[in-house]
Structure 1
C-alpha cells in the first residue's frame, strides 16, 4: 500500500521488510533490577574513590570497567508522562526524578530555591519577583554587559550559553523565551540531580565535569559561560579550569561568575582573607588570559574574552599561560586531560561574536562561513532541503496508526501530531545539524542534542557555529545522561557507520542504550540500508518496542524504521 505526500514528491510504503515471518523470534530482554531506575553507566563515585580519586576527580567519567547490562530499565512506580511544553518547563512530576521532599524544601542556590512542592508536582513558578530572582538576575547581567535588558543578548552576538552547575535550569528556562539556548552541565549526582531535573523540564543538559579532563566540545563553541555558585574552585590546578573555560568560549564571549567569594562585605575576617586570596588569583589570571573585566555588582563579575589574537603575543614574556602549539591544540578533544596552554588561537574559526551573523540567521551559514569548513553553498542548500522534506514526512508518521494491522499514513481526516508532542530530541549522528535546523523551521517546539560520533566525520564545530548545541560521543559507551531523558531518538546512517568498523560493542548494546535514554511512549526513527534495518527490526522485538519498517521509494537502498517504546513501569510492592 502506497502512503505518501504527493505535494513533496516523496512517496513512502509500509512494507513487510523485517517481518517476524522472515526471522526467528528472539527472546525478549529482561527488565533491570530496581537499582537501575536512575543508573548512569560510566559514573561510579564509590569505585572512583576506591581507585584513589579525590578533590572532585571522583566525579570523572570512567567507562569500560563495569559489565554491560543488556536489560530494560523500568520507570519508577509512580512515573507519569511529562507535561507538554511549555507547561512542562514550569511543572514536573515529583515521582519522575530521584529527589526527596526535604531536598526540594531546603534547596539553597540561586536557581534551586525557585522550587515549590505541590502535591505530586514540583513547581518552578515564582509567585513574585524575588530580590535575587532569575528575571532580576538576568536583567542585571545584561546591564553589566552594556545592554538594555536580556532580550538584547541576541543583538550582542550571544546565542549559546554553557551553564556550569546550573541548579535546576531556571536561568536557561528564563532565557529560552529570548531565543537563547543554554546547555547545563553538572557533576553526576545519585540524588537530586541538577541534570535530571533540568532535562525533565525540557531543557538542554548533560552530565559533565572538567575536574580532570577537557569537555567534549570543540574550542570556541559558546558565546557565554555562566557559573552561579557552581562549586568550582577556580584558583585550583594553577588556573587550568579557567583555561578550559577560555578554550570553549568564542572570541569576544562572556564569562559570568556569581559567588560569595567575589563579595567581601559581611564576611568574617578570616573568611574575607580567604575570599580575597581566591578573588585576587582569578582577577590576575583572567587578565593574563587577555580577558577584560567589564563590571562587578554585588556577587557577580563579568569578563569579556579578547577578540584579538595578537593580545597573547603582546603580553610580557612569562606572564600567564602560553598558547598551545599545533600539536597541543586539538580542536575537538574527547575527554582529553586538561591542558595548561591557551587553545583555539590558531583556529580558522576565530571570529568574534560581535562579527558573527546574529540568530536566527546564524543557523544558515553564508558563503564565507561555509568556506571555513570546506563546503559549497549548493551542497549546504541541498542538505537543508533534504531535511525539510524528511521532517515533514517523519512528523506525519509519528502516530500509533502505523503499527496497526492495516498500516497507513494518517490522512487529512486524522489529527496531525501537535507541534509540541516532542520536546527533548537526540540526534545520534547529526552530520551538519540539518535535522535540528529543519525541526526549528517547521516550528516544532523542540531542542536537539546533536551528537557527532567519534568514529565519523567531525562536523561538530560547524553545528556549534550554527547556534545549536552538541557533543562528541563514542556510541560504544553510555551517553552521559540519566534514563528517560529524550522524547525522540533519531539515527540516520549511524548503523552503517558503527557496524562498518571493527567495534567493541554490538548492535544490541546500542539498542539497549537507546532504550535507556528514551522516555516511555517515546519515538525512535532510524534511517539506514535495507539489510541493517531488517536486522534492527528483529532486535526491536527483544526490546518490546512497537516497530514498523517504512520503504522510501525515492531511495531503494534505504529504509526507515519507526518505533515507539511502550510504557512499562515497576509495580508497587
Structure 2
C-alpha cells in the first residue's frame, strides 16, 4: 500500500480536477472543525452540530470543477469497473422522430385496433395485449394541439384544460350525469356521477356512517370501474389513497381524465387474468354501478376481490341490484331478475365467509374475515370453493384467476389477524410491515427496512438540490419504476404528491405486498412492455437501478421511449444507475431531446453510482 496515490485510483488524472477534489475535502474538514469549535463555545450559537455540518457539506451539490473546455463533469466509463454494454456508435445520434398526429393518445398495450383480434368473452379483449417486438413503433408521442401545462394540485382536482384531454365523447355523454362538463377552455369536475346523484361528498359521507373511514384503519382502496375517479378524489380528504381502475372502453378517456386531475389511476379490467396487485393488499374494494357480473362465471370475479382484500377488509357495492325494490323501474330491470342477482351475491359472500356489515339505501358493505380458522371448518357445509394451492400467492402478473379461495396465512387462535395486524395510518407508513417481521422475504429484515428508510430520506434531500420544483409543488403524479421497499415514496410523502410504486415482475424480490402494508399503492410490471396508462400522465419518473436490470433483456431505447410517452412535456426524470449505464442513457436522452445532465449521487465523486437528471421544464422556459 506504500505506493498508493490518487493516480492509481483515477487513471490519467487532470491536475485541476485533483486540486478541486482536494480543496472540496479540505472545506468539508474545516466545516467539521468549525462545528466542533462552535459547539464548545456556549456564547456562540451553533447553526449545526459538527456531524451535521460535515454531512451538509458532503450532500451539497458540488460546483463544476475547473475545466479549460467548460464541459460537464467527466464521467467516462473507463474511470470505473466496466459493465457489459453494447458499443456506442461514434458521433451524434439522429433524433428520434415524432409519431403521426393520430398517435396522440396511443396506449400500446390497450390499443383498440389490436383488441379486435381477441375474444370478447369475459372482456378478454379489454385486457393488456402488447405489440410484439417487430410491431413496436419507435417514435415519440406528439402532444395534442393547444396542450397547456396542467394545473397544480389541488386546483387540478376540480378542473383541467380541455385541450389536454380533448375527449368530446366522454364529456358530452356524461354531462347529464354530472361527471364532467365543458366550460369554455375548461373541463370542470363537479363531483357527480351515475351513483352520486347528490354529489360524491354526500355519497362518501353516507358511507362513513356505515364503517370507519376516519380512524386510519382504511388507507388503501381499489375502485373498480372508477369513471373519472371522483370517488377516489374525495377519499383523499380522509387520508385514503385510492387505486382507480377502468378499461379503455367506449368512454375511452376515463383514466386519462383521472390522471389529468392528479388522481391515482391506471387502465385495467376484471377479466381472465388476475389484477396486477398482490394478495392481501387493499383495505377496501369499491364498485359503484361498475356493471360487473359478480355472481356470474361461478363467482370468478368476487374470488379475485377476495384475493386482493386484506384480512378484515371491506367490500362496498352500490347500485344494481342493491335496493332494487325501490329503484328497479329506473334501472329498467325486472324485479325478479334483480332479486335473483342479489340472492346469488349474498350466497357467494357467505361461502367466502364474508359478513354483511350494513345495507342502507343503495350501499351494501361486506367484511372479509380476519383469518380462515373457522372458514376452513365450515367450507364443506357452505359448499365453498376450494382453497388455492401454491407457494407464491402474491404474484399476479399475467396469471389467470382461479376458481378457488386464496388462503390466508395460518393463525393459532381465532382472535389473530392472518399475516399480522397493520398499524393505523399514518403510523403504518414507517412501521415495520408484517411481511418483514414474519421474515417472508429472504434477506429483508426489520433492520434493513429502517436502514432503507434512512437511505431514501438522504437521497430525496439530495434530489431537492437538482429539482427545485419539488418544493414548489409542481409535481403531483410520480412513478417509481423500481420501488423496492417503497422507501422513495415514503420519503416523498412530505410533498403533496402520490407515487405509483412499480415492482418489476421479473425482479429478484416480490416486495409489492410490503409496499401495500405501508399504506402505499403500486403494481407489477415488465418494463420490456408498455405501462397501462395514457400518454402525458406523470410529472416525475424515478428509476433506481432499473436499466441495469433490463440491459440484457430489451433495448434501453424502448424503455426510454416508454418513459417519454408517459411523461408530461415539462416533466422530470431521475435515473440512478452505474456510471456506464448512465453514460449510455445520456446518449439516448439526447436523441429524445431531453434536457439532461449527469451528476454525482449523494455518495460523492468516487462512487460509480451516478444520476442522470432530466428537467424538461428548462427547455419549456427557454421556448
> Which TM-score tier does this pair reach, normalised by the shorter chain?
0.7 to 0.9
1:115 paired with 2:180, answer yes
Q: Which SS does the other structure have where 1:418 is aligned?
A: helix
**Residues 485 and 517 in structure 1, CA contact (< 8 A), matched pair in contact too:** yes
Q: Find the partner of 1:421 among 474, 493, 496.
A: 474
Residue aligning to 1:404: none
Residue aligning to 1:134: 200
Aligned pairs for 1:404-553 within 5 A: 418-440=471-493, 443-456=494-507, 457-499=509-551, 502-503=552-553, 505-552=554-601, 553=603
Normalising by structure 1, what TM-score? Answer: 0.87
What is the distance in 2 between the residues matched to 1:322 and 1:103? 42
Residue aligning to 2:404: 341
**Could you tell me how far 1:89 is from its partner in structure 2?**
1.3
Residue aligning to 1:562: 613
Q: Which SS does the other structure have where 1:524 is aligned?
A: strand
Residue aligning to 2:348: 285
Q: Which SS does the other structure have where 2:255 is aligned?
A: helix
1:77-124, Cα deviation, whole Å (9 max, x unpaired): 011111101111111111111410x63244179xx6242321111122
**Could you tell me how far 1:347 is from its partner in structure 2?**
7.1
Closer, same or farther: CA 566–355 of 1 in aligned 2, 3 Å: closer
1:404-435, Cα deviation, whole Å (9 max, x unpaired): xxxxxxxxxxxx75341110000001011000
Q: Which SS does the other structure have where 1:308 is aligned?
A: coil
Residue aligning to 1:294: 357
What is the distance in 2 between the residues matched to 1:463 and 1:347? 22
Closer, same or farther: CA 191–565 of 1 in aligned 2, 3 Å: farther
Q: Which SS does the other structure have where 1:177 is aligned?
A: helix
**Could you tell me how far 1:17 is from its partner in structure 2?**
3.9
**Could you tell me how far 1:365 is from its partner in structure 2?**
2.4
What is the distance in 2 between the residues matched to 1:368 and 1:330? 16
1:25 paired with 2:25, answer no
What is the distance in 2 between the residues matched to 1:243 and 1:198? 27
**Residues 351 and 379 in structure 2, CA contact (< 8 A), matched pair in contact too:** no
Q: Which SS does the other structure have where 2:312 is aligned?
A: strand
1:5-32, Cα deviation, whole Å (9 max, x unpaired): 955332544543469x995210000101
**Residues 118 and 124 in structure 2, CA contact (< 8 A), matched pair in contact too:** no
Q: Find the partner of 2:124 among 50, 57, 60.
A: 57
Q: Find the partner of 2:389 among 321, 325, 328.
A: 325
What is the distance in 2 between the residues matched to 1:371 and 1:126? 41
What is the distance in 2 between the residues matched to 1:365 and 1:251? 18
**Residues 527 and 559 in structure 2, CA contact (< 8 A), matched pair in contact too:** yes
Residue aligning to 1:47: 114
Closer, same or farther: CA 174–266 of 1 in aligned 2, 3 Å: closer
What is the distance in 1 between the residues matched to 2:105 and 2:250? 8
Q: Which SS does the other structure have where 1:550 is aligned?
A: strand
**Could you tell me how far 1:516 is from its partner in structure 2?**
0.3
**Residues 246 and 255 in structure 2, CA contact (< 8 A), matched pair in contact too:** yes
**Could you tell me how far 1:393 is from its partner in structure 2?**
1.5
**Could you tell me how far 1:381 is from its partner in structure 2?**
2.0
- Which structure features the higher share of helix residues? 2
What is the distance in 1 between the residues matched to 2:571 and 2:294? 40
Which ranges of structure 1 fall in alignment gaps of 5 or more residues?
400-415
Residue aligning to 2:334: 271
Task: Give the count of matched residue pairs.
Answer: 535
Q: Find the partner of 2:151 among 59, 77, 83.
A: 83
Closer, same or farther: CA 336–424 of 1 in aligned 2, 3 Å: same
Which ranges of structure 2 fall in alignment gaps of 5 or more residues?
1-19, 29-52, 65-71, 77-87
**Could you tell me how far 1:300 is from its partner in structure 2?**
1.4
Q: Which structure has the bigger radius of gyration?
A: 2
**Residues 252 and 354 in structure 1, CA contact (< 8 A), matched pair in contact too:** no
**Residues 229 and 259 in structure 1, CA contact (< 8 A), matched pair in contact too:** yes
What is the distance in 1 between the residues matched to 2:419 and 2:362? 26
Residue aligning to 2:81: none
1:331-382, Cα deviation, whole Å (9 max, x unpaired): 222121111001142479x946994210111011238663224533332222
**Could you tell me how far 1:186 is from its partner in structure 2?**
0.7
Closer, same or farther: CA 267–518 of 1 in aligned 2, 3 Å: same
Residue aligning to 2:454: 385
What is the distance in 1 between the residues matched to 2:465 and 2:573? 14
Higher RCO by CA contacts (8 Å cutoff, separation 6 or greater) = 1
Q: Which SS does the other structure have where 1:261 is aligned?
A: coil
Closer, same or farther: CA 250–515 of 1 in aligned 2, 3 Å: same
Q: Which SS does the other structure have where 1:540 is aligned?
A: helix
Residue aligning to 2:372: 309
Q: Find the partner of 1:208 among 245, 263, 268.
A: 268
